[in-house]
């Protein structure tokens, strides 16, 4: 089976992890600190706070920025539900907006349209998602947001290694959140981090991830209603080697995406994702024509030894958000189409060129032969 995704874990990575397990010092420790330094060094800016998941990163970032009951947060309608779940968990209100049909990300135009009818101070923050690694246009998004006094959070959970206007994603946000889930290009099993420029903000995140503890006069004081979102030291050890070789890994992903684009170009019934030089290609999602049965395509690909799946969700079509906010089914047409017709193809650093050729040829044959 040609797998949809596969972690890039070497024997040396496993040995680093095993060494921590043998030491008995399993909780947050020197390997977590080393991973935080490695992520900040790779990105080239800010200070990093490692946490237990990408969702925990989003949650603590919003908490540290003071988002809570009575606030509203702008969220793309096409994303994994965690992006909005953390807003709801804090008692805030999710304001959805549509995305670009070719890049799958929030645009300033979509953001402006969603903000119409809201008071200047009603929407406190925006969470822009770098869907599948495509860098959202953060310069323009941040300018629009800050013009209204909004905080800017970048959900870069899929986008480690992505670049926007010559800098790593997250550089234009108040807080950038990353995930180390096994589907991501760097994995700790479960894990994530928050990357920020403001030293005071990152300290708030670090307190919140550790029960709200702050050292005072040699004692631990609980200065916030925090959580236990610590990353274990053996998880961090697993990722250190992956970061060390991550530059070539991103280059390989870009090469694989270019091969897909070349092999699938001009296929009737298939829309390809728009390219971007800064895209890190955590996933490669194509969009089928409405007349094609995606489930049948997935099943036929599986029969040919190829794993494929849907991309992300249209939040307004999911049970919780539909029941709470009552959006019309066609309220966000681009998000709906991407949700119903998006198809993610295998992409990972272990994927061979001949396997890309087999995936592309099989998909083209299925589409062209109906």
d(CA 180, CA 187): 4
**What's the token pair of residue 160?**
């480690």
Spatial CB neighbours of 294, under 8 Å, sequence gap ≥ 6: 288, 310, 340, 341, 342, 343
Active site residue 364: no
CA angle 236, 241, 242 (to 5 degrees): 90
Active-site option among 16, 124, 168, 184: 184
d(CA 286, CA 338): 9
Q: How many CB atoms lie within 10 A of CB 276?
A: 16
Sole residue written with tokens 């959202």:
136
**For the chain, what is the largest distance between any 2 Cα atoms, rounded to a whole number of angstroms?**
73
Q: 192-196 and 47-51 as β-strands: parallel, antiparallel, unpaired?
A: antiparallel
CB 86 within 8 A of CB 58: yes
**What's the token pair of residue 125?**
């923050």
Q: How many CB atoms lie within 10 A of CB 146?
A: 14
Spatial CB neighbours of 84, under 8 Å, sequence gap ≥ 6: 75, 94, 96, 315, 321
Residues forming the active site: 184
């Amino acid at each position: 089976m040609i797998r949809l995704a596969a972690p890039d874990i070497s024997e040396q990575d496993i040995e680093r992890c095993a060494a921590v397990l043998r030491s008995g010092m399993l909780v947050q420790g020197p390997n977590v600190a080393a991973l935080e330094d490695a992520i900040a060094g790779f990105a080239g800016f800010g200070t990093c706070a490692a946490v237990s998941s990408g969702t925990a990163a989003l949650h603590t970032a919003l908490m540290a920025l003071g988002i809570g009951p009575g606030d509203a947060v702008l969220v793309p309608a096409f994303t994994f539900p965690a992006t909005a779940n953390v807003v709801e968990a804090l008692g805030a209100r999710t304001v959805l907006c549509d995305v670009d049909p070719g890049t799958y990300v929030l645009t300033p135009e979509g953001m402006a349209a969603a903000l119409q009818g809201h008071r200047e101070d009603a929407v406190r923050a925006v969470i822009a998602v770098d869907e599948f690694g495509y860098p959202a246009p953060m310069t323009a998004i941040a300018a629009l947001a800050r013009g209204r006094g909004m905080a800017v959070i970048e959900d870069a959970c899929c986008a480690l290694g992505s670049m926007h206007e010559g800098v790593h994603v997250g550089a234009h946000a108040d807080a950038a959140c990353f995930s180390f889930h096994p589907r991501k290009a760097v994995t700790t099993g479960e894990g994530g981090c928050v990357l920020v420029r403001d030293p005071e903000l990152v300290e708030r995140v670090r307190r919140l991830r550790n029960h709200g503890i702050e050292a005072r006069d040699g004692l631990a004081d609980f200065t916030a209603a925090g959580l236990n979102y610590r990353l274990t030291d053996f998880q961090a050890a697993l990722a250190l080697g992956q970061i060390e070789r991550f530059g070539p890994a991103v280059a390989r992903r870009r090469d694989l995406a270019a091969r897909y684009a070349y092999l699938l170009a001009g296929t009737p019934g298939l829309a390809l994702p728009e390219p971007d030089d800064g895209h890190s290609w955590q996933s490669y999602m194509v969009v089928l024509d409405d007349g094609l049965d995606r489930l049948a395509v997935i099943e036929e690909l599986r029969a040919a030894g190829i794993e494929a799946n849907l991309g992300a969700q249209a939040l307004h079509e999911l049970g919780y958000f539909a029941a709470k906010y009552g959006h019309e089914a066609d309220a966000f047409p681009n998000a709906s189409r991407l949700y119903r017709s998006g198809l993610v193809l295998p992409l990972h650093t272990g994927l061979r060129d001949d396997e890309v050729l087999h995936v592309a040829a099989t998909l083209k044959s299925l589409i062209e032969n109906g």
